[in-house]
Structure 1
Amino acid sequence: MYKVYKHVIPVVHEYLAEWRKKAEEIPNEELRTQALMSIDSKTFHCEGGAIYALLSGDGFREVVRFIVAYQTISDYLDNLCDRSTSLDPADFRALHESMPDALTEGAKVRDYYRFRDEKDDGGYLTSLVKTCQECIGHFPSYPAVQQETVKLANLYSDLQVHKHVKEEERVPRLTTWFDHHKQSVGPMRWYEFSASSGSTLGIFCLASYSAGKQSMTPEEAIEIKKGYFPWVQGLHILMDYFIDQEEDREEGDLNFCFYYKNEEDMLSRMEHFFKEADKSLRPLPDSSFHRLINNGLIAIYLADDKVKKDPALKKKGKRLIRSGGASTLFFYLNGWMYRTKSGT
Structure 2
Amino acid sequence: MVRVYRTIFPRVHQELDQWINKAQAIPNQELRSQALASIKEKTFHCEGGSIYALLAGEKWAEAIRFIVAYQTISDYLDNLCDRSTSMDPKDFRMLHQAMTDALTPGNELKDYYYYRADKDDGGYLHALVSTCQTVLKSSDTYSFVSDHTVKLGGLYNDLQVHKHVIEEERIPRLKEWFENHQASWPNLEWYEFSACTGSTLGIFCLVSYTLGGAMDKPLAVQIEKSYFPFMQGLHILLDYYIDQQEDLEEGDLNFCSYYAHEEEMKNRFKFFVEQTHQEVQKLPDAKFHHMIHTGLVGMYLADRKVGRLSNAKSFVKDLLKVSGKKATFFYLNTKMYHKLKPERPV
Q: TM-score, normalised by structure 1?
A: 0.98
Paired residue for 1:219? 218
**Which residue of structure 2 lines up, in the alignment, with residue 167 of structure 1?**
167
**Within-5 A mapping of 1:99-248:** 99-185=99-185, 187-213=187-213, 216-248=215-247
Contact 2:245 2:309 in 1 (8 A): no
* 1:342 paired residue number: 341
CA distance in 2, matches of 1:274, 1:323: 8
Instruction: Name the SS for the 1:333 alignment partner.
Output: helix
Rounded to whole Å, the distance in 2 between the matches of 1:123 and 1:314 is: 45
Distance 1:321 1:343 in 2: 27
Bigger Cα displacement from structure 2, 43-52 vs 279-288: 279-288
Q: What does residue 12 of structure 1 align with?
A: 12
SS of the equivalent of 2:182 reads: helix
Q: Distance in 1 between matches of 2:280 and 2:169?
A: 35
AA paired with 2:280? L
- Contact residue 243 and residue 313 of structure 1 kept, 8 A: no
Match of 2:304?
305
Are 1:26 and 2:34 counterparts?
Answer: no
Q: Is the 8 A contact 1:302 1:317 kept in 2?
A: yes
Distance in 2 separating the partners of 1:338 and 1:288:
23
Letter aligned with residue 275 of structure 2: E
Deviation at 1:313, TM superposition (A): 2.1
The residue aligned with 2:44 is: 44
Describe the superposition over 1:242-271 as per-residue Cα deviations: whole angstroms up to 9, x where unpaired: 000011011110000000010000010000
Query: Given residue 188 of structure 1, which amino acid in structure 2 is its aligned partner?
Result: L
Distance 1:55 1:241 in 2: 27
Whether contact under 8 Å (2:244, 2:309) holds in the other structure is: no
What is the CA–CA distance in structure 2 between the aligned matches of 1:323 and 1:81, rounded to whole Å?
35
- Output the CA distance in 2 between the equivalents of 1:271 and 1:261: 16
| 1:323 positional shift | 1.3
1:311 deviation in Å?
Answer: 5.7
2: distance between equivalents of 1:118 and 1:162?
21
Offset of 1:7 from its aligned partner?
1.0
Are the equivalent residues in 2 in contact too, given 1:113–1:119 (CA < 8 A)? yes
Letter of the structure 1 residue corresponding to residue 181 of structure 2: H
Q: In structure 2, what is the equivalent of residue 270 of structure 1?
A: 269
Contact between 2:193 and 2:233, CA under 8 Å: does it hold in 1?
Answer: yes
The 3 A distance-change label for structure 1 pair 267 and 11 is same
Deviation per CA, 1:119-140: give whole Å up to 9, x if none.
Answer: 0000100000000000111123
> How far did 1:59 drift?
1.1
Q: Distance in 1 between matches of 2:314 and 2:37?
A: 30
Structure 2, unaligned runs of 5 or more:
none
Task: Give 4+ residue runs of structure 1 displaced > 4 Å after superposition.
Answer: none
Distance 2:271 2:157 in 1: 26
Q: CA deviation at 1:308?
A: 3.2
Letter in 1 for 2:322: S
The answer to whether the 8 Å contact 2:192/2:233 transfers is yes
- Give the Å deviation of 1:87: 0.5
Between 1:137-146 and 1:232-241, the stretch displaced more is 137-146
Deviation at 1:197, TM superposition (A): 0.1
2:9 & 2:308 partners in 1: Cα distance?
26
Deviations 1:135-161 (CA, angstroms, capped at 9, x unpaired) = 111123211111100000000000000
| Superposition deviation, residue 300 in structure 1 | 0.7
Q: Does 1:281 align with 2:287?
A: no
1:310 CA displacement: 4.2
- The sequence identity of aligned pairs, in percent, is 56
Segments of structure 1 that go 5 or more residues without pairing to the other structure are: none
TM-score by length of 2: 0.97
CA contact (8 A) 1:296 1:327 kept: yes
Residue type of the alignment partner of 1:282? Q
Cα distance in 2 between the residues matched to 1:185 and 1:282: 20
Aligned-residue CA RMSD (Å): 1.1
- 2:330 alignment partner AA: F
Aligned equivalents of 2:309, 2:249: Cα separation in 1: 15
Alpha-carbon distance in structure 2 between the residues aligned to 1:268 and 1:218:
35
